[in-house]
Structure 1
Amino acid sequence: MDRKSEYQDIEQDSEQTEDIKQDGKNQSMKSLDIESNFVVNHQELVKRQKKQNKFLWMTIGFAALFHLIFLFSVFDVYIQSWRPLGMQPIQPLNKNNFAKRVVIFQYDGGRADIIYGLKNKSYETEIGKPRVPIIHNRIKEGKANFGILYAMVPTESRVCVQNMMGGYQEDMTAILSGWASHETLKYDRLFNYVKAGFFFGPELLHDIFESQRCSSCVRLDDYPDSAINYNDHKQASTFDKLVYQKVTRLFNNGQLEKNDTPNKLLKEYVTLKEDQEKLQSDQLIIYMTWIASDAIGPAFKPPNKEYHLSIGNTAKLIEKVEKKIKKYYKDDGETVFILLSDHGMADNGAHGDGNPQNTFTPFVIWGSSIKPAEDEMDPQNPETHDDYSKKWDLTIKKRVDINQNQVPSLISILLGIPIPTNNEGILPLHLLDANELQKAYALIQNAYQLQVTYDKIQELVEHKQNWFFKEYKYSPSQVLYNLSQLKQQVDKLVKDTDNGKNLSAQQTEEVKKIISDTYIQLENIKNGTVYLKLYQKQILQAVVGSGYASFMLLCLVAIFRYNNTSQENEAEIIKQNNVPIYKNFCLIIIILFGLFSLFYLNLTDSKPLYYLYFGLPLYFLYQFYKQRQFLNQGWDFGILKCIGSYILIALAGQCLMYSFYERQFIGYNFIAVSIFSLIYSKYCFGSISKTTLIWSVLCLLISIFPIFPPISIANDTWYAIGFVAITITLFYFSFYYFNQELETSVKIMTILTLYCGSMSLYLRTVESSTVPYFVFGINWAILFSLIGSVVFLNLHKNSDSNLRLYSLVVIMFNLALLFGISYDILFYLIFALLLKAWIEHEKEISVIFSKEYKIVPYHFYFLFKFILLMNISFFGIQDLVSLGSFNYESVTRFVVNLNFLVTLALMVFNLTLPFLCGSSAFIIICKSAYQKLNSVGLFIISLIYAEIMTIDFFFMVKTEGSWETKGSSVARFVLSSMLVFLYTLLFFIAHYLFKSTKIQSA
């Protein structure tokens, strides 16, 4: 009997078939089964293969949907959003105000080291003098206290300023609605309690400074944020002059200074009388936002001339304003001045993460009832200064740091108004120049305010949990009782000592003990609030964790069922599992647990999403239980080798996971892969082939990039080198290597690289405001044409897979040249060469498995390399766990004014093309080197690695520590989940693009 078997990928138009010729006559089409080599009818085989395809694609679809749904679990488990409203404010306990008015100068986007620092640039006059003289003067005169104000990120204006005005920081669930939303913000803030207030700044912050209790009490003198050109430092600086003119006009009877030309945005002054009445009021706040530094920083970068000069120019305006205010009030000693920043700015112009450059901002306060900074005992070896602040020439005074959410309680106590009810910060008592009893009253008022919030949150949680609620050991009622006892002690001391004027040594110790006990109650309130916010943490952790684990097991079943199992064995296993319900113990347990879950979720008034959290793991576990015996159809070697293989797979998943924590780990992984490839080739073939050697060398080359720091500053030299290297490479392949085989459209795109690279270099050497708008129009036209090339790539007449992949690489190079700023161009070049070497390397290795018709451990290693390539395309040149590390200069080829949504869309698309090229290389390898296996089934292996990473990230989310610690831990989980969705989407696109291509078998 003469038999020929031709195996092709089941996703191609032709299926596995076998022509059987016997005695010169054609028999009906039959196929040799992969596992047991028995002959089955062709129709049954086709039916099984269709069922196989349907099941595998459903598994991938489930993966995308499952990760998209469970993406929100991190917010429900770790970041419950509680913002109780309608609470009664606590009235001040001190009878007298410490000050009549507070004046706030806010440097928008001002970094502490640059604002505190000394002039040290060649373009600055008076080298060695303070960049902001008013700060150094007030501190060295012994009038001001100073330190670092730790910004609460994400550092968009709304979040930071809202935290300074209300002490309330939105949790990370706010990213679902947008940080900079212009809708009215439902939280309490300082301006709700002042008798009068003024705000000068951009329209973006309008809602934060209006009073919800007295609309006529606060004047909002703003200007449209849309008028700011973030790439024109000259134009941006005029907005600080505009604020100065508005303030000058307020304190100068509606008149500007002589010879001062009014800004075109300066509106007519029509409320002079009412404003003058406000200025004479007590409990007054005047807030000024100086935006030039924030408008200039993203485009021109904080280390550069434009940013430094804007800081200095604004400092001159602030000093003039301080003099005018003092003169207006005849220096009555009833004013408190505060100079601060809402956030800092990293060297690359971003400010959205926990980088110290973004969170270390200045805080200088002087005036009525403010305790000046204490002297350092030894200025040469200061106790409170580190290397960061020793450069400021302020080591003669002690540095005192506070958190951003401590500002509202301080201002409230100074003005004698209620602390905002949503405030989360604790009063920085050490900044007050008052007697001990006044300090005790102030701290107890703060504790009462926080206790009311604690009590309200418990009321909401208890109402929701019903029977399942258990009170924290220090309940709100117990804390309230303790605070009442402390207040009574203070009241008694006030009576006995004539309002604290005649405190004895023993009474002083009593007050200190009261203050210490109040801090203990504040700690109890904090712990109790955290307990309530994470009330369902343990049960949700278990449910969500089991969801990821059960789906990973289901993926393993899917792989082994349709790749390592014969049709006969499959039918036998399915028949064994078809038992009556009353004998199916596992099914009964799942049903009972499902009923209990419904009862629990209904009784606790849970969100609809919780039903999916509980329901999907039950479904996955039941499906796994039904098909668990397919795992026995996996690898047919001994139990110890099986266990060892699974351990290695888990370790590989851990190696991929650590890449999200340290980019350098990706480089180490590639070094290990390079060395292992050489050893494996030598072991299997007796020598190291040229293909393996090229692959290993390229692995070593690309491992360099993640070991380098993320690109933060543009470098024209590196960009030019990369531009030349890409141009030479593309022209060689397009006009020599492929030449006649290549389509004209790809050759045109090759020539287009000359424009993309040259224009990018040109745009970096000139101010964007001088560039004709048609240039940006051409760049957008090129961008959309490249997107269209990807969309219509499948319509091209050329069906060769290598040429189609090369077309994608040319598109990627054009985009890289448009978005690139430094040696990232070289990275994309090496990445593209690595993909080509990977395809050839896998074809060579696949010869070893040419007789294998099932999944073996090496295929997991193959998928490990695939995920590793995807990770390095994402983290190779940027630490993109935080979007704050993204360099906004990358999008200045397309926009003049930075727009968050446009910037984000451009960034995501730029990151997508390398992913698509990697997915396309994966498809080519599956259909050429491993054509006897199902490419969809192989891809599911990558989902197993994704589950290992995602489970790790889910249980490693932090709820304590700095924002950088908490935010990064959440970002890693979210990023891992989103990458699964992106992998799936791009695999589907690549599968479609290469469905009808001709792929040469290994």
Structure 2
Amino acid sequence: MNYFVFIVLNILVHTIFFMSIFDIYFTSPLVHGMKVVYPTAQTPAKRLVLFVADGLRADKFFELDEHGKTRSPFLRNIMINNGTWGVSHTRVPTESRPGHIALIAGFYEDVSAIMKGWKENLVEFDSVFNRSRNTWAFGSPDILPMFAKGSSGSHVHVHCYDGSIESFAGSDSSILDDWSFDHFKAMLRNTETNMTLNKLLKQDKIIFFLHLLGLDTNGHSHKPMSKEYLSNIRKVDEGIQQTVMLIDKFYSDDQKTAYVFTSDHGMTDWGSHGAGLPSETLTPLVVWGAGAGKHLTVPKNLDNEAIEQTRMWGLTPEYRQDVNQADIAPLMAVLVGIPIPVNSVGSLPSAYISSNRNLIAESMLQNAKQIAEQFSIKMKLTKEKSVSMVPFKKLSLSGVVDRERKISELIRQGDYEKAILLSYDLIDLALEGLQYYHTYHRTYLYLSVLLSFVGWIFVCLLIMLQQDDLIVNQVKKLKPLANDNTQKRLVIVFMILGAIVATTTYLLDFTAFYFIYFLLPLFIWHFILKHYHTWQVCLNVLTLNASLRKKLLFHCTIGLGGIWSLILSFFYRFVLLIVILLVVAFVAHYNISSQTKRFWASVSIILCAFPLLPVVGRSPNPFLVVLGGLLGSTSAYYGQSWLQVRSQYNLLYILPLLSGVVASTTSYLSSNYGYVITPIHITSWSILLLGWVLPLTTSTNIINRILSIYTCQCASYILISLSYDAVFCVVFCILLCIWLKLEYEIAHVERPLAAMDFVEKTSIGSEQDFKMSFHTLRRSFILVFFLVLSFFGVGNIASINSFDVQVVLPFITVFQPFIMGSLLAYKVLLPYLLVACAYCGISVVTKTNLNQLCCFVIIISDVMGMHFFFMVKDYGSWLDIGTSISHYVINMSMTLSLLFFFAAARFLTSQKL
């Protein structure tokens, strides 16, 4: 197989592997075609007001301050005297879009949809806004428009502020909340002159939505423990009090307004959200007004920790009513008397409804019918896509009808309690059945991807075997003796299998990706079996050569042990320390200079300290950032002497120190003055751009070019650093330079390293034997190890969640999710480029076979990928689910990105302006 073709196919195959978990585990739960279930009970509320304090943690809202007083006196008084309250449990990812969809639409958006879009609706979904007669929403342009697009008419009216006022460098972001409150008040004042508006506001089944983003922005900028965040809670309470008084005055003739106060997600102590820590998943819920319950005691499952926590807040545990976030959508629908959104999977929390048991029973039946309707549609769709379906045993279509009829009969007889219990039972069974049919075809997809995984590992082995002269010559001798009919029969068999798979997939109306998943293993295994001569020769060679067999077994054992250690490092960062020490000990037996051994061991031991430190992001330290810049400049300058070269651009080595100073100055200005001056932005973007341009102006001498690349890219990395990560990047680059010299000495190349040039082409021929392949195996493992170390050396799976907005302040202060996310991704992936540049140097000085390198790296990462593929979860705690996804995504991204970074590294190391 041509080398270029192999790389292209490898990218395509691993892209399919990458996408597979989203089609297997996280496909959209939505179904369409359900009948709308209209309410039969008359609810006392004509309108509902929803307050969402974005980024508000439950503990910060409920707890008492240092003086023993509440930060929310108005809402606290309602909790004690007039309403019902509790904790809303969110799901990961704890972000604004999925949180609001769960609140307002009642379903948990699948992970793939969240990753593909933010403002746009990837699928049509129903919501309480859509079911209302009219909805008026005030707040962020990032949240409100998607609910207007999701409506079936023009009755959702959104009023958004300019996104430029969402600044993370401001001293106080509560102005965002003031904007929502002020514009809502202005709308009510306009009714004095606008009779059309006045008439619309006096209708029933209307909703007001006030999105309050100040707490989220203040939390990112100043942390949830800051006075800005805590005082913002008081301002929200005051704003809600004034708004409620204004609404009650406006509707003084009926007093039929229901109120709901909650949050979309919480926030970590270091000002981030997205994962599944309790501080992120626990949010407050307070409901009061028309139709709302008042201190109802119903059966609940609060553990001892929750009970003790409630008492610490100065509240009564017996009155705490916890719910799932999706339960709030049916609650709002019932309160205002509209149909529950057809896609909702929430279960109505009866404790939040008034003590009218007839109302609760009728509403529970409405909720049960709405979810059972989804179950019925999902079962029919699954049956249409199955040759022979095994139905869900616990519930059938006739069973749904019988249960609904029985519940209705109990309500007519006045046996409300039993009707409510049977409704809950039907909801639970329908949700379980929905999950059963939603995952019905998962086994077939699972087996197809697994066969493709194993097959691609064998393809990589085959490519390597075809690079060996001994194997190639034996295959040439064996082929003429082979029977061509075997090849023909093989083609026919796989064509028949492919036709059967394609026809079945088409008739069952699966998506285009299902064709790929089902046909991919057939193509891969046909390619493997087509070269059965190679496998036959390989087995003959191993059978005749006992020493080679032992050596292969030894290296495979060592390799598998190394791979398992890398897998463990995804769970336990300290394992990286053990691997570093083992690599140092393994390399020590090679014949290299004592100076190189000392440097290699010393820097490796220094690097051992980083996996033992807390993850970066929780405690910014400008001093360490400046230290990283100083260390980077010093190391780059004196590294020339050790490597016996002299750069033509000595001023280039000032960049890391300049970056450290700029980053620290940014931190100081934002913390003390609340703004960042424009020259800092210009300097930061200039350094980032120069990092890609300046290295191309230096000579293509290996050492000069590597030092210039590392110096410039370290400067960019330091700008996006918060703490010891700046020092880590510099130490990591030093170790990569030593690795280059170490591999050069192991290869016993006589030519001076400082004289070698990158324009010399790397060998891609087949003049390598098994002995050289074992050297390549070592280099490949160290390469993958460095990739894992670059990610987990300063963080863990929660590193993205540890994102502090202060990181991007040298570049931007206005809220721009795409730019901020790109800068964060750049920081995470930049060490991959540094590793790729080091290996480009090693490939030149050791004449490494690039085919073997790529194949070994792919085999190592695919063995890891299969392990994480088995461990992906869509059940259990949401932290476990998020972590299992992250493991697989990181591993697949590492494989895919490395191929692109090799191309970028070849450009950076070999081109000259």
Q: Confirm or deny a common fold (TM above 0.5).
A: yes
What secondary structure does 1:884 align onto?
coil
Q: What residue number does 2:703 align with?
A: 802
Structure 1 residues 382, 395: closer, same or farther in 2, change over 3 A? farther
Between the aligned partners of 1:974 and 1:801, the Cα distance in structure 2 is 33
Q: How many Å apart are 1:624 and its aligned residue?
A: 1.9
* SS across alignment from 2:260: strand
3-state SS in 1 of match to 2:348: coil
Q: Distance in 2 between matches of 1:739 and 1:135?
A: 71
Aligned to 2:410: 490
C-alpha distance after superposition, 1:831-856 (max 9, x if no partner): 112112323443455569x9976345
Q: Deviations over 1:545-580 (max 9, x none)?
A: 11111011111121132136354224224445x532
| CA shift for structure 1 position 809 | 1.1
Is the contact made by 2:92 and 2:275 (CA closer than 8 Å) also made in structure 1?
yes
The equivalent residue for 1:442 is 363
Change in CA separation of 1:148 and 1:975 when aligned onto 2, cut-off 3 Å: same
User: What is the CA distance between 1:192 and its match in structure 2?
Assistant: 2.7
Q: Does 1:987 align with 2:902?
A: yes
Q: Using a 3 Å threshold, how does the CA distance of structure 1 residues 375 and 718 change in structure 2: closer, same or farther?
A: farther
Quick one: which of 649, 654, 668 aligns to 1:765? 668
2:141 is the alignment partner of 1:237: no
* In structure 2, C-alpha distance between the alignment counterparts of 1:244 and 1:386, rounded to whole Å: 34
Give the Cα separation in 2 of the matches to 1:211 and 1:568: 65
Q: State the distance in 2 between where 1:648 and 1:489 align.
A: 70
1:333 Cα offset (Å): 5.9
Q: Does 1:812 align with 2:732?
A: no
What secondary structure does 2:27 align onto?
A: coil
Calculate percent identity across the aligned residue pairs.
24
Equivalent of residue 290 in structure 1, options 203, 212, 220: 212
Q: Find the counterpart in structure 1 of residue 580 from structure 2.
A: 670
Matched residues in 2 for 1:646 and 1:223: separation? 61
Structure 1 residues 531 and 757: alpha-carbon distance in aligned structure 2, compared to 1, 3 A threshold: same
Higher mean C-alpha displacement, 161-170 vs 604-613: 604-613
Give the aligned partner of residue 939 of structure 1.
854
What is aligned with 2:143? 205
The offset of 1:950, in angstroms, is 1.5
**1:258-273, aligned counterparts within 5 Å?**
272-273=194-195
The 1-side partners of 2:51 and 2:375 are apart by: 32
Q: What are structure 2's unaligned runs of at least 5 residues?
A: 750-766
Segment of structure 1 superposing worse, 869-878 or 445-454: 869-878
1:108 to 54, 64, 85: 54
2:763 maps to what in 1?
A: none
How many pairs were matched up?
Answer: 884
Look up the match of 2:865.
950
Is the Cα contact below 8 Å between 1:102 and 1:336 reproduced in 2?
yes
Comparing 935-944 with 832-841, greater Cα deviation is found at 832-841
Match of 2:791 in 1: 874
1:536 aligns with 441
Deviation at 1:987, TM superposition (A): 2.1
1:891 to 808, 815, 833: 808
Q: Structure 1, residues 341-396: CA drift from partner, whole Å, max 9, x if none?
A: 1122223433233333322211122233433346899xxx9957256555422256
1:595-614 correspondence to structure 2 within 5 Å: 595-614=499-518
User: Do the aligned partners of 2:629 and 2:726 also contact (CA within 8 Å) in 1?
Assistant: yes
Q: Give, in whole Å, the separation in 1 of the partners of 2:212 and 2:114.
A: 26
Match of 2:461 among 531, 553, 556: 556
Rounded to whole Å, the distance in 2 between the matches of 1:277 and 1:417 is: 20
Contact 1:385–1:398, Cα closer than 8 Å, also in 2: no
Equivalent in the alignment of 1:720: 626
Counterparts of 2:838 and 2:231, CA distance in 1: 50
Choose 391-400 or 67-76, whichever is displaced more: 391-400
Does the CA contact (< 8 Å) of 1:202 and 1:225 recur in 2? yes
Specify the code of the residue in structure 2 equivalent to 1:116. Answer: F
Q: Is the 8 A contact 1:148 1:361 kept in 2?
A: yes
- Show the counterpart of 1:246: 183
Can you list the C-alpha shifts for 1:179-206, whole angstroms capped at 9, x where unaligned? 222x696211112333443322233333
Specify the code of the residue in structure 1 equivalent to 2:631: A
Out of 625, 628, 646, the position equivalent to 2:535 is: 628
The amino acid of 1:163's aligned partner reads A
In 2: Cα distance, 1:178 partner to 1:711 partner: 28
- Rounded Cα–Cα distance in structure 2 between residues aligned with 1:624 and 1:855: 24
User: How big is the shift at 1:979?
Assistant: 1.5
CA distance in 2, matches of 1:270, 1:436: 40
**Candidates 828, 839, 848, aligned match of 2:729:** 828
Give the distance between the partners of 1:588 and 1:422, measured in 2 at CA: 47
Letter in 2 for 1:828: C
* 2:837 alignment partner in structure 1: 920
Kindly provide the amino acid, as one letter, of the partner of residue 203 in structure 1: P
Check conservation: 1:440, 1:490, Cα contact below 8 A. no
2:7 aligned partner:
60
1:281 pairs with 2:281: no
Match of 2:470 in 1: 565
> Structure 1 CA distance, aligned partners of 2:460 and 2:797?
28
Matched, 1:969 2:876: no
User: How many Å separate the matches in 1 of 2:108 and 2:51?
Assistant: 21
Are the equivalent residues in 1 in contact too, given 2:666–2:680 (CA < 8 A)?
Answer: no
Hey, what's the Cα distance between the residues in 2 that align with 1:170 and 1:897?
27
Cα distance in 2 for residues equivalent to 1:676 and 1:147: 57
| Pairwise CA distance, 1:338 | 1.8
1:444 Cα shift? 1.9
Report the Cα offset of residue 212 of structure 1: 7.4
- The CA distance in 2 between the partners of 1:972 and 1:691, in whole Å, is 35
CA distance in 1, matches of 2:181, 2:407: 45
The answer as to whether partners of 2:636 and 2:653 remain within 8 angstroms in 1 is yes
SS class of match (2:339): coil
Separation in structure 1 between the aligned mates of residue 903 and residue 149 of structure 2, nearest angstrom: 52
Residue identity in the other structure for 1:590: F
Aligned residues of 2:655 and 2:712 also touching (Cα < 8 A): no
Q: Is the 8 A contact 1:158 1:205 kept in 2?
A: yes
Q: Take 1:384 and 1:430, find their aligned partners in 2: how far apart are those partners? A: 22
Q: 1:194 aligns with which of 101, 126, 132?
A: 132
Alpha-carbon deviation of 1:138? 2.4
Q: Secondary structure at the match of 1:106?
A: strand
Pick which of 479-488 and 207-216 moved more: 207-216
* Residues 383 and 810 of structure 1, relative CA distance in 2, 3 Å threshold: closer
Partner of 1:524: 429
2:753 corresponds in structure 1 to: none
Task: Say whether 1:69 aligns with 2:16.
Answer: yes
Would the alpha carbon gap of residues 515 and 700 (structure 1) be closer, same or farther in structure 2, given more than 3 Å must change? farther
Alignment of 1:563-712 (within 5 A): 563=468, 565=470, 567-575=472-480, 578-582=482-486, 586-625=490-529, 626=531, 627-629=534-536, 631-632=538-539, 633=541, 637=547, 642-643=552-553, 645-677=555-587, 681=589, 689-712=594-617
> Is structure 2 residue 73 aligned with structure 1 residue 133?
yes
- SS of equivalent residue, structure 2 residue 340: coil
- The answer to whether residue 419 in structure 2 is matched with residue 419 in structure 1 is no
* Change in 2 beyond 3 A, CA 1:861/1:396: same
| TM-score calculated relative to the size of structure 1 | 0.81
What is the CA-CA distance between 1:177 and the residue it aligns to? 3.3
TM-score (norm 2): 0.89
Q: For structure 1, which runs of at least 5 residues remain unmatched after alignment? A: 1-53, 121-126, 255-268, 495-506, 998-1002
Aligned to 1:48: none
Which segment drifts farther, 331-340 or 912-921? 331-340
The letter of the residue matching 2:8 is: G
Change over 3 Å in CA distance of 1:872–1:291 after alignment to 2: same
Measure, in 1, the Cα distance between the counterparts of 2:292 and 2:366.
19
1:7 corresponds to: none
Q: How far apart are 1:419 and its partner, in Å?
A: 0.7
1:113 alignment partner, SS class: helix
Query: Quick one: distance in 2 between partners of 1:583 and 1:288?
Result: 69
Q: For each residue in 1:214-252, what CA deviation from the matched residue of structure 2 results, as whole angstroms up to 9, or x when unmatched? A: 857554343333443332244x3223222222333445x
CA-based RMSD of the aligned residues comes to 3.3
Q: Is the Cα–Cα contact under 8 Å of residues 916 and 990 in structure 1 kept in the other structure?
A: yes
For 2:330 and 2:161, the matched residues in 1 are separated by 29
CA deviation profile, 1:51-84 (whole Å, cap 9, x unmatched):
xxx6344333321121123322222222222433
